[in-house]
Homo-oligomer: A and B are copies of this chain.
Amino acid sequence: MARLPDHDPRIADVSEGELLRVILARTPQAELAQLGPGDDAAVVAAPSRSVVATTDTLVHGPDFRLAWSSGYDLGWKAAAVNLADVAAMGARPTALLVALAIPRDMPVSFIERLADGLREACVALAPGCAVVGGDLTASDVLMIAVTALGDLEGRPAVTRSGARAGDVVALAGELGQASRGLGMLFTRFREDGEPVPVDESVLTDSERTALAAQLRPSPPIGLGIVAARAGATAMMDVSDGLALDARRLARASGVSVDLHGDALGPDRASALGGGEDHGLLATFPRGSVPDGFRVIGDVVAADEAFSIRCDGRPVEEDGWDPYRDWDAAAG
């Protein structure tokens, strides 16, 4: 880096090789990596003879705004949402691959912070998992596509389709916080419709918690394995709101779900409709719910009148597209 411009160099000022070195210097070795970055492909151990794999992309505009998200936030969130999908199968995350498309005028320091966020999310949420490979491309729009790999450690995958009537429905993680954070961004940190930087000094502690849930979510990754070991019959990541995601689980399993309203907290609408919480929704045989999960309902036989019911009333909400809804609210 000795020959870089002294102050705040841009992507266009450095070669792809230099940018790669900046990122790799911030990337520890994954515990199960057999061959890390630098060759045509990475090699990652798959001790249980299968690999769990998922990919999720964040695109500037629909998925995040640079006025609101730092590089660190973006790296953290891109890792966290993918780790949550691996955890939702009952697997241990082992490795990330990161495809970055970066505008040429982005500061290199932004990408350094992004690499820091990727690393620290792995350390905090899925120790042993780290970036093993990736790709850098120029683009007019900043985009990060992460693929996460995981190992099932000999257990069967916990799918969405195994819930049975008589099971209980349980949740690990928060409901509605991330959407509350996004709501604050849209209502309090825009001017003339455009995002402006967040002034955290005007926020209460509880508001800061909600904002962090939106910008740097901390899904309960380790509880995915705990649930699988405890005999979870079905599990999924709650990314699009409890109502929509519980409906998906119910339909995949051929059952209906009866939620307990008092388990959803005071703001039931946010709990049912808010997206991006990335908690783990799971079903367990009665009496098998492990620590870290709380019971929020019952699995019942498929009922034509409802697939999701809350305190006896069918739930009509069918998920929530935060950008659509917030834009409408502000329009």
Contact = CB atoms under 8 A, between A and B. Distances in A.
Interface of A: 34-35, 38-47, 49-59, 61-63, 84-86, 88-89, 91, 95, 97-99, 101, 132-135, 137-141, 143, 145, 147-150, 152, 157, 159-161, 235-237, 252
A279 B241 CA distance: 46
Nearest to A148: B41
A133 B54 contact: yes
Name the prevailing secondary structure of the A interface residues. Answer: strand
Given A35-B159, A49-B46, A139 B54 contact: no
Contact of A141 (B63, B140, B147): B140
A11 to B, nearest CB: 12
The 8 A-B residue pairs with the shortest CB-CB distance in the complex, in nearest-first order: A41-B54, A46-B46, A145-B145, A40-B88, A147-B147, A99-B145, A40-B85, A55-B97
A237 B53 CA distance: 24
Identical copies in the complex = 2
Contacts of A134: 55
A50 B33 CA distance: 9
14 contacts: A38-B160, A39-B89, A39-B159, A40-B235, A41-B86, A49-B49, A51-B149, A53-B149, A54-B133, A55-B99, A57-B99, A61-B139, A140-B141, A145-B145
Contact of A99 (B47, B62, B99): B99
Contacts of A53: 41-44, 53, 95, 97, 132-133, 147, 149
A43 B34 contact: no
A56 B99 contact: yes
A140 B45 CA distance: 37
A32 to B, nearest CB: 9
Contacts of A161: 39
